[in-house]
Amino acid sequence: MAEKKQIKERIQATNKTYQITSAMNMVSTSKLKRSEKSLKTFRPISDEIIRIMTSLLASNDELTHKALLSSSSKPCYIIIASDRGLIGNYNNALFKFFEAYIASHHKSNDDFMVATIGFKAYMYAKKKKYNIVNQESVNNRDDILFTDFEDVSNSILKMYLNDEIGKTTVFYSVFINTLNSKIVREHLLPIHIRERDKNNIDSINYTYEPGKESVLDSMINLYINYSLYRIMLEAKTSEHAARMNAMKNAKDNAKEIEEKLTLLYNHARQNQITTELIDIINGSNAV
């Protein structure tokens, strides 16, 4: 009897887990659709900023900016992870990828700087005792806003221009589809103009006001902010997909366990009924 009661309690607990994970799976699916739509909408904007900046630089060979030049200072790595868990191997895979890169390129943690976006990334960097640029955790919430990471973005650019940091690389998970994502490292500073962008410049001779230098300076700030925003959209979309898949797997596992426990409960109940019938029959024969 006690065994049957325990099985029933486990069935009820598993059913609650199924309901929770099912609800979280539905929420993540909805968030994924919105995030994927935002990402696809923003990608052309990011490409257009690069095209305008390339056209501006092509208009004058002597025009340059410190953000376009290499620096010999310590490299800086930006790690973008999630704020919350229940996401499968999303964060751990990213951290292992980063550690493998660090192990093959640096001998000591003092050789580089780290900037983090997302609570999990900040706690990871603190645990590893890296030299962290930001003094507190930077939110990586679902509804991404420029204000969330503007301080980090401006700080990174300012530190690069002041030679406090050198080559800057972003580590994050890029969205491929609902089932697949890929951990990548993307170069951010110094800004490199790709060959395909050079072949896509305008032949029109624009007039820049108040001047090409001022416009270029503004474009550099826009480029860093918008590039980081696009990267965060990629990472957030990948995060939603990972959480959706993790909750789907948890939901399916809970359902499977519940079915097995129900079968076990039915067997225990049948055994109890059989035992009671035998006792009744034996008692009847004794009378």
Whole-number Å distance between alpha carbons of 35 and 240: 8
Q: What is the pLDDT of residue 178?
A: 81
Query: Are 177 and 119 within 8 A, CB to CB?
Result: no
134, 228: one domain:
yes
pTM of the model: 0.83
Integer Cα distance of 150 and 227 in angstroms: 12
pLDDT tens for 106-131 read: 989 899 999 999 999 999 999 999 99
Are both 262 and 129 inside the same structural domain? no
Tell me the residue ranges of DSSP E strands in the chain: 76-80, 113-117, 168-175, 181-189
Triad 9, 256, 12: Cα angle to 5°: 15
Q: Indicate the pLDDT class of residue 262, thresholds 50, 70 and 90.
A: confident
CATH code of the domain containing 42: 3.40.1380.10
Domain co-membership, 72 together with 112 = yes
State whether 235 and 278 are in the same domain.
no
Q: Are residues 7 and 139 in the same domain?
A: no
> Based on the domain organization, do 73 and 40 belong to the same domain?
yes
Q: Who wins on pLDDT, 63 or 170?
A: 170
Q: Which domain holds residue 179?
A: 27-243
**Could you give the CA distance from residue 236 to residue 230 in angstroms, rounded to a whole number?**
10
234 and 251 part of one domain: no
Q: How many separate domains does the chain show?
A: 2
* 45-49, 75-79, 263-267, 270-274: range with highest mean pLDDT: 75-79
Closest alpha carbon to 185 in 76, 98, 83: 98
User: So what's the pLDDT on residue 194?
Assistant: 57
Provide the CATH number for the domain around residue 254.
1.10.287.80
Q: Are residues 77 and 205 in the same domain?
A: yes
Least confident of 168-172, 182-186, 281-285: 281-285
Q: How many CB atoms lie within 10 A of CB 250?
A: 19
Residue 166 resides in a domain? yes
- How far is it, in rounded angstroms, from Cα 154 to Cα 150? 6
Confidence class of residue 284 from pLDDT cuts 50, 70 and 90?
Answer: low
Q: Which residues make Cβ contacts (< 8 Å) with residue 100, sequence separation at least 6? A: none
d(CA 166, CA 195): 23
* Per-residue model confidence (pLDDT) at position 1: 54
